[in-house]
A and B are shown apart, each in its own frame.
Chain A
């Protein structure tokens, strides 16, 4: 807890640059994915332990808040994977790529690429969200 307090204080008192933003997005998307996977394990295990509640639980995923969060989660998963690949590539294969220019460019490209890859899924999931929430699909 103390480390979270120290980190929060310091990171709000230092000018952030690309690497800091890439790191924060990586952490947040990683934690969000972990949270989702934990919930997912719970809902799947219901099939075995309490099959009568399974459909109710799955129904939760149709709640507007849940659907929006899933759209964001999709972006997070894509970004997390791409950024992890960027870091592994630079760190393990090409240390000499850790120059100021390349680091800046690579962070921007990673975010851009994640956004492009997310777009189709975002549109489909966004369509579902509108359908289930406002158009009375079920």
Chain B
């Protein structure tokens, strides 16, 4: 099938800095949007810029807005979209070039929840691992799936209005450690979530959950973090 691919371009050194590129490409329904981008760059315009690494939906590099919703280009098939495909960069983040946005503020929010296991207690008597039952592991299984692609945070209207809001991705990371039975750092994970820029800023608009390419139940995780804070987890 013939696909009309429309891409929002941006180059700070060019005038005008923003424009649209339109390409016509022959594609199979099973092709991924990433395949089309790679072909457009290889065959039609070498200056087209986007990020990708694994090409298999696990590194989180190629989050972008495809036909108006955030997705991973490597996990979106032409078949799902039809013959007109529009690709734009994520919203709410500064565009550096074409589809590449500045992820640094996003990653700073991620770091603010101390996304690592905090436990200063001595190791178990055998000096080996801290054990956990399958049920305890299951408690935070959903939020371990996050690949930090940014689809959720860049789909959040609260984040669009105020880039200082920590955003759903950071709260998902806090959830992952907060509900880990081995973790003792609840207060440290949630410290950054208590103020105006934190978890209470969530308005349950649900855009995060709908845009997550890993199908994490993000709004639910955020609600559980809110509960944990109120009930003193």
Contacts and interface: CB of A to CB of B under 8 A. Distances in A.
A103 B157 contact: no
A20 B223 CA distance: 18
Interface residues of B, number: 28
Interface stretch (B72-80, B132-140, B204-212): B204-212
A3 B157 contact: no
Given A14-B65, A19-B205, A20-B157, 20 more contacts: A3-B161, A6-B92, A7-B157, A7-B161, A9-B91, A10-B92, A11-B160, A13-B68, A19-B204, A20-B205, A23-B205, A87-B204, A90-B204, A91-B204, A91-B226, A92-B223, A95-B224, A98-B204, A98-B206, A99-B217
A11 B204 contact: no
A55 B76 CA distance: 64
B160 A19 contact: no
Interface in A14-46: 14-15, 17-20, 22-23
Contacts of B53: none
B18 to A, nearest CB: 13
Nearest to A88: B204
B59 to A, nearest CB: 24
Given A6-B160, A20-B207, A87-B204, A15 B92 contact: no
A92 B88 CA distance: 36
Contacts of A124: none
Contacts of A9: 91, 160
A96 interface: yes
A7 B65 CA distance: 16
B69 A18 contact: no
Q: Is the interface of A mostly helix, strand, loop or mixed?
A: helix
Given A3-B162, A10-B157, A95 B207 contact: no
B220 A95 contact: yes
Interface of B: 65, 67-69, 88, 91-92, 155, 157, 160-163, 203-207, 209-210, 217, 219-220, 223-224, 226-227, 230
Contact of A19 (B67, B69, B210, B227): B210
Nearest to A87: B204
A100 interface: yes
A19 B168 CA distance: 15
B157 A18 contact: no
A98 B157 contact: no
Interface of A: 3-4, 6-7, 9-11, 13-15, 17-20, 22-23, 87, 90-92, 95-96, 98-100, 103
Contacts of B67: 15
13 contacts: A7-B160, A14-B68, A15-B69, A19-B205, A19-B207, A20-B206, A91-B204, A91-B226, A92-B226, A95-B220, A98-B209, A98-B223, A99-B217
B223 A95 contact: yes
Nearest to B224: A95
A115 B10 CA distance: 45
A102 to B, nearest CB: 10
| Most A CB within 10 A of own CB, among B162, B163, B204, B219 | B204
B83 to A, nearest CB: 18
B205 A98 contact: no
A68 to B, nearest CB: 29
